[in-house]
Amino acid sequence: MKAIAAGLLAALALAAAPALAKPVLTPEAQAGVLRDDALQSNAAYQWVSDITTRFGARPAGSAKERAAGEWAAARLKAMGFDTAVVESFPYHAWVRGANDSIEITGPFPQKLAGVALGGSTAGEVEAEAVIFDSWQAFVDSTADVTGKIVVILQPMARSTAGEGYGATSGPIRWAGPMAAQKRGAVGFVMRSLSTDDHRFPHAGATNWSDGKGIPAMAISSPDAEQLGRISAMQRKGEAGPVKIHMTSGAVFPPVGTSVNVVAEIKGSEHPEQVVVIGGHLDSWDLGTGAIDDAAGHAIAIAAAKSILDHGLRPKRTIRVVLWGSEEMSQPEGFGSGGFNYARAHAAEAPNMVAAMEADFGADKVITATLPATADAAYGKTMNRLLTPLGIAIKREPSTEGDSDTDVLYNLGVPCLTLNQDGYDYFNTHHTPDDVLDRIHPENLNQVVAAWSATLWMIAGSDVTFTRPEPAKAEK
């Protein structure tokens, strides 16, 4: 940071942090004002632009992640947050090789667009491919895959709620490489978890292999279609067996650290009562993590910032958390930023009024899943506040948290989710194409509008939610 820039930041800090005043409107009226003003603000988009331009990719446990976290904490202080600190935790990183490759070496030699799965093992193998067009076909098959490369071409279903990701990521990406290895395979290749047909492979974590697994890669949708065509020719006797050569230089550096960023606006009446909101700080290494998840944590920041910008002080404390290392699977004893945050702050869980995370891109909110409450007025108020934004409130109250808040839910913290439209999310999720250009500012503004109103109706009111039964302690 140059001297002139530091000066600018100090000036901004003064401008953005007027002495916070008591609200004069009813909570609902104030929430409506915050909502409407947020539609014009572009604050989240500006944050995403800043962090992705300054740091690019922010891989879990990397120096970039830490630098971005430190910058974010300074920026949040300058914005007017009362506190903003970086909390470190031990972390076991995984780093992609610099010159990974995958190619067909027979019958029709050509390069494929593919990337190693996070947590997978390095290696160079060349072997015959055994191609399955679905995960079920692989599971049901008795084919001998010993010494071969297992290839799963199953495509992913596209929907607004992203059910296709849940249905395919678990068995194929998480369990696939280990299952193939167990059956004697020397390599694993899957069609990317993608709803698009452009030639980007999608990264993503598999179960932590600790360097004892087999090379495992995801190829782009067009490359999967290509293998499907060759496989069809093979079945018709028009082509010989498919051979694949793959090289992964993945390394598991010594244990280091990762970070969470925690910033607060202290509550005026109940400072001990905390509303936790956030998104994650880290990203995959291929893009700049604009939609996953700079957008998510920027939404939470912009919602809190809208309260600061209106010169308001909430009754309860608003705590914004930028969780580190959400993207990677971890070995025993380590864990994501969400896990480490919950572990470090478990004692405060009974005072956490609610938790809310954004980790589903930058498109508009379409439905809201609210926590259960005995307060009959709450649902009606939320209906009046959110339906003008085109948001439908779900009948069923929430029964889980999101990627980093689910651990809190299991500690008894009520969670809520403003569900964004995920129809296009998996087009570019975890690809080199996850960059600022994917974001439409007007969509992001709608999300921040919904978040601002929702946040104020918790932090600026006395609503209480039914607390979930704490689950058995997570490992």
**Under the rule (CB under 8 A), what is the footprint of a second copy?**
2, 4-5, 8, 49, 52-57, 98-99, 104, 108-111, 113, 197-200, 221-222, 225-226, 229-230, 233, 237-240, 287-288, 431-433, 435-437
Three-state DSSP class for residue 156: coil
Three-state DSSP class for residue 56: coil
Question: Which is it for the CA torsion 434, 436, 437, 440, positive or negative?
Answer: positive
CB of 414 to a second copy, least distance (A): 39
Report the residue number, 197 or 269, with the smaller CB distance to a second copy: 197
Main-chain phi, psi angles of 29, to 5 degrees:
-65, -40
| Dist CA 47 CA 299 (whole Å) | 9
State CA 425 to chain mean position distance: 11
CB of 203 to a second copy, least distance (A): 14
| Dist CA 374 CA 455 (whole Å) | 18
Question: Which is it for the CA torsion 376, 382, 388, 389, positive or negative?
Answer: negative
Report the residue number, 31 or 115, with the smaller CB distance to a second copy: 115
Q: Which of 53, 112, 39 is nearest to 441 (CA)?
A: 39
Contact 330, 257 (CB under 8 A): no
| Dist CA 426 CA 193 (whole Å) | 7
Q: Which of 283, 287, 435, 305 is nearest to 359 (CA)?
A: 283
Question: Which is it for the CA torsion 445, 447, 449, 455, positive or negative?
Answer: negative
Three-state DSSP class for residue 236: coil
CB of 15 to a second copy, least distance (A): 16
Tell me which amino acid residue 75 is. Answer: R
CB of 50 to a second copy, least distance (A): 9
Report the residue number, 248 or 288, with the smaller CB distance to a second copy: 288
Report the residue number, 5 or 374, with the smaller CB distance to a second copy: 5
| CA 50 to each of CA 71, 268, 272, 288, 435: distance values in angstroms, whole numbers, following the listed order | 10, 31, 32, 11, 12
CB of 395 to a second copy, least distance (A): 39
CB of 443 to a second copy, least distance (A): 15
DSSP 21: B
First-to-last CA distance in the chain? Answer: 40
State CA 465 to chain mean position distance: 25
Report the residue number, 237 or 333, with the smaller CB distance to a second copy: 237
| CA 127 to each of CA 79, 149, 151, 209: distance values in angstroms, whole numbers, following the listed order | 56, 6, 11, 21
CB of 111 to a second copy, least distance (A): 7
Report the residue number, 31 or 439, with the smaller CB distance to a second copy: 439
CB of 118 to a second copy, least distance (A): 17
Report the residue number, 99 or 142, with the smaller CB distance to a second copy: 99
Report the residue number, 187 or 287, with the smaller CB distance to a second copy: 287
CB of 282 to a second copy, least distance (A): 15
Report the residue number, 64 or 313, with the smaller CB distance to a second copy: 64
